[in-house]
Each structure stands twice: as structure tokens, then as C-alpha cells.
Structure 1
């Protein structure tokens, strides 16, 4: 089956029609997981965008336009992909991309940055239309991809542990509630229990406080793009590499780890279109997002993987609303303790991380050393040429595997084992 085909092995589900499937997809587990994903995406990441806007001395109207662009379009991508493919392919924007804008906007005028945002989307769109990304993803050794996913997402698990050190009562109670619910409450999503219990503890302990964010309730102010070679090299190229090498690659790997057949080229195309439209509105990009997809694709979103797209639908609606009411919503979301969000997001990743580790380091599939190298590089804070560690994890893992001859050994082993060894 092609990566571009619909994922489910139950073709009847797709003949039934979206509206017939919707009630079953919007289960309590899917809704609660979609809310958790939205809380994660609308908290710390929003502050990174605001910080980048402040570094570029943007007006409140330009900042609100930026938030509107990335959140509304990111939510729209979620809705489109979930409805079209019935997979938890979740849209947002590149968080590392927002972070590098804090540096770029110090020296690059915002009008030139807007032009560079648009050009970045054009690059991604052309790569998607050409089908090149799909061919690359089919060529990549799956153990190395899974190791990259494990390394890139392990920070969520570590973040959950560190949140206990930062706020022992809030995070600790949330984690205990999650594991107790996992054991004794089969009918209630453990991640929902953890979020509710953690919020109650945080509220009564006085940890829920208004955030000091200077965004007035003003109309979005859009900026006419100006195109320059300097901005293209400083922003367009690294941002496109982040969207493809970090976000889309993570999302694709996560979906494969959960048993889906993601439409890789379509994911790249819509990320390119989202980048162009977001750039035109003054946002750095809107694309398929790795961490958001990981949360919505996890087993916390439901036992039936064919219905987990409901979590993406919920997340998409909440993202759209957040984008529409950014000036009002940002302070409310940021009032929640970071430790609570980190702990809940961490436990939501357990299933994805377990699947990634198991598929990366199963001895029978080979690539052991290459997968380990990919793991540690993805876990690092390596950044070269403006591109973050997930991309370099794939490069390093493949390079080491080739140097050690792991790929050749794996091919010989499969040939010797016969057709039964092929997957």
C-alpha cells in the first residue's frame, strides 16, 4: 500500500462516511487527549512566539497577527488532515522555528522576515509536490527513524520527572493519579484524571495565577512582505529544514510507530501551503507538528487507533479558537503551572516512547549502533546551520550505519532469511 493511501485496514470504516464515524471518534479519551495537546501547544510555545515578537520590536497588533496565523492555520491543518485521512495528523507550528526568530529578528526587519516566511513555505511545498520527501522517508531505515523519535520525545518524559522537582505537590499528585487511574479506572482516561487532579491541587494551593503578558485586545496588524536574499538564507532555508527534518519527520515516525501509514507527501504539501498562508498573515509557519501528533496519536487517545483522529479534531478546534482570541486566551493559558502541563504531557507520551524504543532496538531488524547514535543525537541540543538535532540524528544514524556496514549486513540477513523476513 502506498503512503498516500488511506491508512485503515478496515476500508468499510472509510466508506461509512465521516459524520457516521465522528461520534465514536469523539470519545472521552480522545477529547481529553486533544485538550491536553492543546494546553501543551498553547502554553510555553505561545510565550516563545511572544518573546520572538518582542525581540523584533513588533507592535501588539503584529504579535496578535502572528499568533492568529500560526494557531488558527495550525488548527485548520489538523481539521483538514483528520477529516481527509482519519489519522491523528496534527497541525501547529515549529517551536524551534519560533525560537530562532528571537535571534533573527534582532537584525532582520520584520517585513523581510515575512517575505522569508512565505519563501520557506514555497520551499516545503515544492518538495512535497515533487514527491521527494515521500521517497526519502520510504528509504530511511525504520530503526533509525524510531530512535530519532525516541530521542526527540524523551524530553517529555524527563520533563515530567523534573516537574516533580519544580512542584512536588502538583506534579507528584498528577503523576500518582495517572498511574492509579491506569490500574483501577479502565473507563476513565488516565491523562484526564491526572489533569483534573493536578489542576484542583494547583488551584487550592494558589499556584494558578494570572500571567503577566503584555498583549492588548487589539485587531491583528498585517505586514506587507519584502523579499531579500539575506532573509532568505537566514530564515527561509533553516525554517524549511526544521519543518521537514524535525516536525514532519517526527510526526511521520510517530504515526508509523503507532501502526499508521502516513501520507508523507500530502503532509509536506499542506505544511508548505500552511507556511505560505501563515507567512502572508505575519506568522513564521503552520505545519504538521511532531510533538502534537505524538500526543494525539498515543494510546491515551483511545484503544482503537482508527478513531484517534478525534483527538486531533478537538485539538484543531481549540487551536483555531486560541488563534481567534489570542489576546484574551494567552494570559489564561499561561496562568496554569508549567509543572502541571509538563507532567501531564509526559505521561501522555509513555505509549509512543515505548513503541519507538521497541522498534528502534529490536535486534532482529539490525541498525543497532546507528539507531543508538540517532537516539543520543536527537536527545542532545545540537544545532548546526540553524537546524535542530532531530534532522542531524537521522543524518548521523545513517552515516554511522553505512560506515559500520550495518545496512549491508541487514540486507544480507533478510536475503538469507527469505521472504518471511521482509516487512
Structure 2
């Protein structure tokens, strides 16, 4: 069986001479901005879902802040450690579809807060076993690069669409940012995203759309919540939490890393994200996993033209996540102070180049083109079946087409 060659980027493994001085030389402003944008887009786009889930679970304000503390610490430390250890851009995020599962079960009256903590622990154990056993990586190794590229393009394209859908809501903000993007691609490509972000912040400040009066100030303290294990909750919520985290987060997360040209020890990384979730679950960590959408910000040329220096982007993102953890309630308020149109525009424009590259890789080979196109459109549709998101079903659709159309001379 043959597979298309993957564009391997062999970042230098840490050597004895790769000390702090070498790391400081690798640092760049573009990596710092890429890390910030990934956190801005990831956090502000779905933090409201966390608040809704905690409200459905009748959490106290202290417990809600503890959830933010737990996921901030749980994402920040692994992002920094994994990226420094491998010298590759490994970004960790939370399971957005996972918290949707939790919130829906709580809203239906099928879950209490202690039972939710029990489900977090149960899902974490499943992720630990799946990760360290290497089973999930073996499945991913069978995924052709064009299908992985189509998956990534489908996941990211919705963000690009949202950037232009935001134009009628605030044309005075979004249109100048689009213009800056077009000019930046020609005249200042390395500083394009920072310029767009700064321009957007300046326009929003002039428009008076920052609402700093809503921001609470103070350090967040973790709150221990004793777990309760219910067979009905573990089966009805814990297993779906595990499935959607693996299918909707870790699967496209691995695809993003590999489409970026990197080979990373994904089995160990997934296993350790399960360990992080397990340790922090009693404080509210519902699911810590590989970043999917926001990974595109740190693996592409926007983070740095030199692929070997992009690892600084998730390191910077990890530092921002640690700040979110320590100042959970305050940072949540700060992010909510950004107008949604600004977040959509920055995120969508920053992803255009990555989407273009992914589509080129997805549709470049005739024998994969139809399967890749189907993978792209199913993923882009955003459908959810059996509680599992479109990223999983996109890969299933593409794989079925490959199996049906496969000929001996073109075996995958």
C-alpha cells in the first residue's frame, strides 16, 4: 500500500547546545502575535458556551471561575512544555463540542455538577488509554494527506466565511481590515496579521465599542468539586464526551499538525492531555486536547517564515492561557469586551492563506480529488449526527469514496 508523501518539516530536536540563549534567538514578534490571535479567537469564540454549561449545572460564580482556571492551566502548561520539548508548534485547547455535550445534558436535567466531574474523569481515563496505546495514531497514519488537507480546509473555512458575514454588521471596522489584509499580502506579508489586529483595535477604540466597565478584577482561586459516578451519566455523557473530543478535536488537530508539515509524537501528546484533564477535572477541566481550528494560527507562515521557529507561537499562547487561568474571571471579561466583529475579522483573515494551501493540497491529485471535495463540503456543512461533529463525518464520507473508487493500481 502506498501513501502520498507528507511534506516533513524536521525541526531540530533539542540538543545540548539548544539552551535558553538559542530559544531567545528563535523568538519573534510574529510568533507572539500568532499565539495571541489563537487565544483570542479560541477563547472569545466559545467561552460563552462554558458559562452556559456552568449555569445549566447551577454552578456558583466561584465554581465557574474555577472552570476557567482549570482549563487555562490545563492548556497553558502542556502547550509550553510540548512545544519546547519537540521544537514544534503543538497547541493545546479545550473541547468545545465536549462542553456542548455537558451543557445539553445538564439543561435536560440528566446531569448534576458532581456527576459532570465524574464524567470528566471517566473521559480522561479513556483518552489516556487511547493515547498511550497508540491506537488513535495508527488510524491517523492511514489517512491520506489530501483528505487531511480537505478536513482542515473545511474546519477553517467557516471562520473565513464569518469574517465576511461580519461586514454588514460593522463595515467601518471590517472593510478597512480587509483592505489592510490585501495590501499587507503585497507590501508587509510578515507583519500582516499584527497590522490587521492593531488596525481593528484602533477602529474599535475610536468607535467606543470596548466595554471595560463590565470587567471584574481579581485573581481566580480553584474550587475542588467532589466527583460522583453514575452509570447512567458515564454511559450517556462520559462516553459521548470522549467520542466528540477525539473525533471533533484531536482528529482535526492531528490533521492540522501534519498538513503544516510536522511529524509529532501524537500518541504521547494525546495521552498526556488525558492526564492533564484527569488531574484538573475536579476543578472543572472538562476536556483538554489538541487544538483544531486555532492550531492553524501557529503552524503556518504567519507564525514565522522559518518552520523551525514557529514553536514559539504555542509557547506564547500557553503563557496567555496561564494568565487566563490565574485571572480567570478578569480575562474572561476582557475577552468579552472585544466586539465579536473584530474577533471574526481577525480570525477569518488570518486563516485565508492556510485555507488556500490546504485546498491546493486537497485537490492537487486526481485520484483523491472527489473524496477530498466530499470531505471538505461535509466538514464545512457543520452537521452533527449522533452527537458527533462534521469533522468526523467528513473523514468518513471521504474514506467511503476512496474505498468505493479504489483500483489496484491506485491503492491508498
Tell whether the structures are fold-level matches, with TM greater than 0.5.
yes
- 1:213-247 CA-to-partner distances (Å, cap 9, x unmatched) read 88987643221011112211222212212222121
Shift of 1:15: 5.1
Deviations 1:389-410 (Å, cap 9, x if unpaired)?
A: 101111121112212x236452
CA distance in 2, matches of 1:73, 1:321: 12
Residue in structure 1 matching 2:320, options 308, 314, 318 = 318
Shift of 1:212: 5.1
After superposing the two structures, state which structure 1 stretch, 206-215 or 15-24, moved more.
206-215
TM-superposed CA distance for 1:21, in Å, is: 3.1
State the distance in 2 between where 1:373 and 1:213 align: 44
Instruction: Kindly indicate whether residue 401 of structure 2 is the aligned counterpart of residue 406 of structure 1.
Output: no
The reply to whether residue 128 of structure 1 matches residue 131 of structure 2 is: yes
CA offsets per residue over residues 144-172 of structure 1, 9 Å max, x none?
Answer: 22111111111111111112222111122
Please report how far the alpha carbon of residue 182 of structure 1 lies from its aligned counterpart in structure 2 after TM superposition. 2.5
Matched position secondary structure for 2:166: helix
Q: Is residue 254–residue 356 contact of structure 1 (8 Å, CA) maintained in 2?
A: no
Q: 2:302 aligns with which of 278, 282, 300?
A: 300
Residues 1:77 and 2:72 are matched in the alignment: no
Give, in angstroms, the shift of residue 190 of structure 1.
0.6
Give the one of 143, 148, 155 matched to 2:146.
Answer: 143
Note if contact 2:76-2:322 (Cα within 8 Å) is conserved in structure 1.
yes
Maintained 8 Å contact 1:115/1:227: yes
Q: In structure 1, what is the equivalent of residue 53 of structure 2?
A: 52
| Counterpart for residue 365 of structure 2 | 363
Alignment of 1:3-402 (within 5 A): 8-9=9-10, 11=12, 14=15, 16-106=17-107, 107=109, 108-186=111-189, 189-210=191-212, 219-364=221-366, 366-402=367-403
Q: Secondary structure at the residue paired with 1:166? A: coil
Partners of 2:168 and 2:269 in 1: how far apart? Answer: 38
Distance 1:220 1:60, change over 3 A: farther
Q: 1:135 Cα deviation (Å)? A: 0.8
The structure-2 alpha-carbon separation of the partners of 1:212 and 1:383, relative to structure 1 and needing over 3 Å to count, comes to: farther
Pick closer, same or farther for the CA change 1:325–1:337 going to 2, 3 Å: same
Distance in 2, matches of 1:67 and 1:138, equals 34
Point out the more displaced range, 211-220 or 236-245.
Answer: 211-220
In angstroms, what is the RMSD of aligned CA positions? 2.1
CA contact (8 A) 2:148 2:259 kept: no
Unmatched 5+ stretches in structure 1? 1-6, 415-423
CA–CA distance in 1 between the matches of 2:407 and 2:255? 19
CA distance in structure 2 between the aligned counterparts of 1:149 and 1:113, rounded to whole angstroms: 31
- Give the CA deviation at 1:346: 1.1
What secondary structure is seen at the aligned counterpart in 2 of 1:287? Answer: strand
Listed as ranges, the gaps of 5+ residues in structure 2 are: 1-7
Residues 19 and 64 (structure 1 numbering): CA distance in 2 closer, same or farther, change over 3 Å? Answer: same
Once the two structures are TM-superposed, the CA of residue 185 in structure 1 deviates from its matched residue by: 2.4
Aligned residue pair count: 403
Inter-partner Cα distance in structure 2 for 1:303 and 1:270: 29
Q: Distance in 2 between matches of 1:354 and 1:360?
A: 10
Q: 1:13 to 1:180 in 2, by over 3 A?
A: farther
Are 2:14 and 2:86, in contact at CA under 8 Å, matched by a contact in 1?
no
User: Is the CA contact 1:67–1:323 (under 8 Å) kept in the aligned structure 2?
Assistant: yes
2:4 maps to what in 1?
none
Structure 1 position 283, deviation (Å): 2.1
